[in-house]
Amino acid sequence: MIGEAAKLLARSRFAIAFTGAGISAESGVPTFRGFNGLWKMHRPEELATPEAFRKDPHLVWSFYKWRMDLIRKARPNRAHYALAELERMGILKAVITQNVDDLHREAGSRNVVELHGNIFRVRCTSCSYRENLKESGRLDEFLKERDLPKCPRCGSLLRPDVVWFGEPLPRKSLEEAFRLAERADLVLVIGTSGVVYPAAYVPQIVKETGGKVIEINPEESGITPIADVFIRGKAGEVMGELLELVRGLANE
């Protein structure tokens, strides 16, 4: 299975990766399902919505600050590094991610398309103000503040710059993702349940335009029925091995 995947990758002309929360699980960032019971009595699906934010911005902000703090301490794992290395080798052309954790870029991936935003960015609920707290160096101060965060430009409430359930995806990122999927002759699908649309169209577009679908997941997902190769396992372990095999083939 993994040998077949390595051959397909080594032979591909335009490979892309499509990742979900599972790729960051070994970095200590729980998938949404992994959150159950971890965070008070609320399900993340009930907190990551515009309705929840309108009803109780304090609750939603404390959830997001808790996640920001957890994610800032997380480091990329072998799967993130392997994707960055495949890009440097010229094999992988882009990573399309549903994650908000920034770990692909931390690992060195350059062409990253974020479909669901970024946990370190905030934006104003009224004007066009946006800030990346990691880049502006204000993250520590932001996490310590107990009052609700306000826009420095207009004074309105700030919100996390992530896509909540029921909200549209950022148009430019989605268009870029679909363009890449149409060009791709192979997609590596890693750690996603493949049930969140429109993101889950990405592997389907690759398949429909004649490309190969390689999936890595400890469990079957919504993508498994269209996978040409399904590798059951954890992202870090499988990607470490896959990278070695591809390197071997590239040197032949």
- Pick what 234 binds: ligand NAD, Zn ion, none; C-beta below 5 to 8 Å, kind-dependent: ligand NAD
Position 252 contacts ligand NAD (CB under 6 A):
no
Number of C-beta neighbours around residue 113 at 10 A: 22
Angle at 223 between CA 106 and CA 232, to 5 degrees: 70
Q: Which of 42, 58, 80, 116 is catalytic?
A: 116
**Minimum distance of Zn ion from residue 125's CB (angstroms):** 8
58 is catalytic: no
For 179-244, give the DSSP string: HHHHH-SEEEEES--S-STTTTHHHHHHHHTT-EEEEEESS--SSGGG-SEEEES-HHHHHHHHHH
Site for ligand NAD in 23-82 (CB under 6 A): 23-26, 29, 31-33
User: Are residues 21 and 44 in contact, defined by beta-carbon separation less than 8 angstroms?
Assistant: no
Position 114 contacts ligand NAD (CB under 6 A):
no
Position 20 contacts ligand NAD (CB under 6 A):
yes
Site for ligand NAD in 118-177 (CB under 6 A): none
Positive or negative: CA dihedral 221, 225, 231, 236: negative
- Nearest residue to the partner ligand NAD, using Cβ: 22
- Pick what 77 binds: Zn ion, ligand NAD, none; C-beta below 5 to 8 Å, kind-dependent: none
Helix (H) or strand (E) holding 46, with range, is: helix 44-47
- Of 96 and 235, CB closest to ligand NAD: 235
Site string for ligand NAD, 172-201 (x = CB under 6 A): -------------------xxx--x-----
Beta strands of 9-157 (E only): which ranges?
15-19, 92-97, 112-114, 117-124, 130-132
As a whole number of angstroms, the longest Cα–Cα distance in the chain is 61
Which residues neighbour 144 within 8 Å (Cβ) at sequence distance 6 or greater?
none
Position 153 contacts Zn ion (CB under 5 A):
yes
Q: Mind telling me the catalytic residues?
A: 116
- Interface residues toward ligand NAD, by CB under 6 A: 20-26, 29, 31-33, 98-101, 116, 191-193, 196, 216-219, 221, 234-235
- Interface residues toward Zn ion, by CB under 5 A: 124, 126-127, 129, 151, 153-154, 156
